[in-house]
C-alpha cells in the first residue's frame, strides 16, 4: 500500500511539474502578463490540453503509430525557422523562459502522433470533389473584403456572481 501511495505521489509531482512548465510555455507564447491570476485562469485549459495529449498518444499507441525522434527534430527545425532562430537558439530561448524541453518535446510528440492518427483514420473517409473546391473558391472570391464576424455564446447560470 505504501509503495502504491509513493508511486501516485511521484506521478502527481511529475504531472504538477509538467503542468507548471506548460503554463510557462503558454504564458511565454501568448503574450499574457505573467501573474498568479493569469496562471489560475489558464491552468484549467492547460490541464485539459495535457489530458487531451495523453489521450491522443494512447490512441496513436493503440494504432501502433510511433513518432521517431527525427520527426520531433524536424518539427523543431520548422518551428525555429518560422521564428527566425536556429534549433539551438529556440531551445535556449525556451529554457531561459523556464520551459522544460521535455515538456515541449512531449507536446510535439503528441501533435505529430495525432496528425498520424488523423491521416490514418479520418483522411481516407474524406472526399472533396472538384466541384466543391470550385464552389468554395467562388464563395471566397465573392466574400473577399467583406466583414466577417465570429460569434460566441456566453452562458451564465442562475445565481452566478458578478
Q: Could you give the CA distance from residue 113 to residue 60 in angstroms, rounded to a whole number?
A: 6
**72 within domain boundaries:** yes
Q: Residues of the chain with pLDDT > 70: what percent? A: 83
CATH number at residue 112: 1.10.4030.10
Of the two residues 26 and 124, the one the predictor is more confident about is 26
pLDDT at 123: 78
pLDDT at 7: 42
DSSP character string of the chain: -HHHHHHHHHHHHHHHHHHHHHHHHHHHHH-----HHHHHHHHHHHHHHHHHHHHHHHHHHHTT----HHHHHHHHHHHHHHTT--HHHHHHHHHHTT--HHHHHHHHHHHHHHHHHHHHHTGGG----HHHHHHHHHHHHHHTTS-----------TT---
Buried b (16+ CB within 10 A) or exposed e, 11-38: eeeeeeebbbbbbbbbbbeeeeeeeeee
**87 within domain boundaries:** yes
> C-alpha cell of 144?
473577399
**143 within domain boundaries:** no
Of the two residues 103 and 17, the one the predictor is more confident about is 103
**28 within domain boundaries:** yes
**12 within domain boundaries:** yes
**129 within domain boundaries:** no
pLDDT at 12: 44
Query: What is the average per-residue pLDDT within 138-146?
Result: 87
**157 within domain boundaries:** no
**18 within domain boundaries:** yes
pLDDT digits (tens, 9 = 90+) for 49-105: 999 999 999 999 999 999 999 999 999 999 999 999 999 999 999 998 888 899 899
pLDDT averaged over every residue in the chain: 83
User: Which residue segment(s) compose the domain that 75 sits in?
Assistant: 2-124
Count up the domains in the chain and report the number. Answer: 1
Residue 16: is its pLDDT beyond 90?
Answer: no
Q: Is 160 left (phi over 0), alpha (psi -120 to 50) or beta?
A: beta
pLDDT at 4: 44
Q: Could you give the CA distance from residue 66 to residue 114 in angstroms, rounded to a whole number?
A: 10
Residue 1: is its pLDDT beyond 70?
Answer: no
- Sequence-separated (6 or more) residues with CB below 8 Å from residue 42: 23, 26, 27, 32
Query: What is the average per-residue pLDDT within 134-140?
Result: 90
Residue 10: is its pLDDT beyond 50?
Answer: no
pLDDT at 126: 80
Amino acid at each position: 500500500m505504501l509503495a502504491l501511495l509513493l508511486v501516485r505521489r511521484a506521478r502527481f509531482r511529475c504531472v504538477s511539474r509538467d503542468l507548471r512548465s506548460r503554463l510557462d510555455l503558454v504564458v511565454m507564447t501568448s503574450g499574457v502578463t505573467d501573474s498568479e491570476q493569469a496562471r489560475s485562469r489558464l491552468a484549467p485549459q492547460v490541464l485539459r490540453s495535457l489530458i487531451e495529449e495523453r489521450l491522443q498518444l494512447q490512441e496513436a499507441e493503440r494504432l501502433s503509430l510511433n513518432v521517431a525522434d527525427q520527426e520531433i527534430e524536424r518539427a523543431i527545425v520548422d518551428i525555429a525557422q518560422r521564428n527566425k532562430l536556429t534549433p539551438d537558439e529556440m531551445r535556449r530561448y525556451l529554457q531561459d523562459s523556464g520551459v522544460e524541453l521535455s515538456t515541449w518535446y512531449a507536446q510535439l510528440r503528441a501533435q505529430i502522433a495525432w496528425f498520424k492518427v488523423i491521416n490514418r483514420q479520418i483522411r481516407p473517409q474524406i472526399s472533396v470533389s472538384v466541384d466543391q473546391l470550385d464552389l468554395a473558391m467562388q464563395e471566397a472570391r465573392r466574400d473577399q473584403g467583406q466583414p466577417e464576424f465570429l460569434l460566441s455564446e456566453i452562458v451564465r447560470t442562475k445565481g452566478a456572481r458578478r
